[in-house]
Amino acid sequence: MKYVVCFSGGHASAVTAIEAVRRHGKDNVVLLNHDISSKVEHADIKRFKREVSGYLDVPITYANAENFEEMTPLATIRKLGQFTCPSNHQVLCTYYLKTKPFHEWLKQNHPASFDDPCKNITILYGFDKGEESRMIRRSGVLGAMGYKTDYPIALWGKTIRNTMEMGIKPPKTYKVFRHANCIGCLKAGMQHWYVTYCLRPDVFSEAKELEQELGYSIINEHYLSDLEERFKDTQAKGVCPNDTENGNAFWARVSKVIPDQQNFLPCDCAVL
């Protein structure tokens, strides 16, 4: 039995990988990653992946989209001419940069079907106990394809809580972002896009132009062009860009800031 860890580069997937190796041995674990363009995946996430791989002595197996370094999420959407799939509203960058390469890798290396399930691999995800709906959905989708899934953090009982116990610092992006997704995530909300506006104005500008080009708003009914002035004022009022804080608390704090702090410079925690 091989245990295929969906190794995203986030902290939870790293803990999952460590738990898998501790339980099943390094020779039975695959670290499967979809490398994302360095234009939107921070270099420290890539550092983190390398260090976890080195600690476990398990090489990273890549299942990458074609021309992935150039195909950022926004470049992918521009090429396709639409943001989401009409039938299920899935954001298409996720499908083309991660889901499709993953399914192709499975088909090539461990073919299966509902009638003829693959019995020699189990696919592991870093979901925790609070993500039961995600576990149910993922188990259903992959089960219909003929694959077994498991969730070490939620179901096994953790032997570690943080990679710092191994001397591996989590990606420093966690100081600002709550996940290890792309900067300018097309599934994220207003708070994430405020951070993007402050720290990656190039990504914000490209997304704003693409929204107008395709007539689609990333954040529900709010176009980025309509939010830009608000973001500008929020930054000028001294609100440090941070996507880790509870959203209600963050925007409540925005409404209370002193309006005369016009010479705002991001604090140290907002420097990537």
How many separate domains does the chain show? 2
Query: Is the residue at 22 inside a domain?
Result: yes
| Same domain as 160, residue 75 | yes
Overall average pLDDT of the 3-31 stretch? 97
Query: Is residue 68 a part of any domain in this protein?
Result: yes
User: Does residue 129 sit in the same domain as residue 239?
Assistant: no
217 and 132 part of one domain = no
- Residue 89's pLDDT band, with cuts at 50, 70 and 90, is confident
pTM metric for this prediction: 0.90
Task: Judge contact between 91 and 187, C-beta under 8 A.
Answer: yes
Both 21 and 113 in one domain: the answer is yes
Same domain, 7 and 91: yes
**Quick check: is 232 in a domain?**
yes
Looking at the domain assignment, is residue 181 inside a domain?
A: no
Task: Please indicate, yes or no, whether residues 109 and 24 belong to a single structural domain of this protein.
Answer: yes
Question: Is 183 part of a structural domain of the chain?
Answer: no
Note whether 202 and 260 are same-domain residues: yes
Q: For residue 220, what pLDDT is reported?
A: 84
Does residue 180 form part of some domain? no
State which residues form the domain around 220: 188-270
Of 21, 52, 12, 28, nearest to 180 by C-alpha is: 12
Taking only the tens place, the pLDDT of each residue in 69-86 is 999 999 999 999 999 887
Can you give the pLDDT at residue 90?
83
Q: Is residue 54 part of a domain?
A: yes
- Classify residue 109: in a domain, yes or no: yes
What confidence category does residue 264 fall into, taking pLDDT thresholds of 50, 70 and 90?
very low
**CATH number for position 18:** 3.40.50
**Do the bridges between strand 121-124 and strand 148-150 make them parallel or antiparallel, or are there none, so unpaired?**
parallel
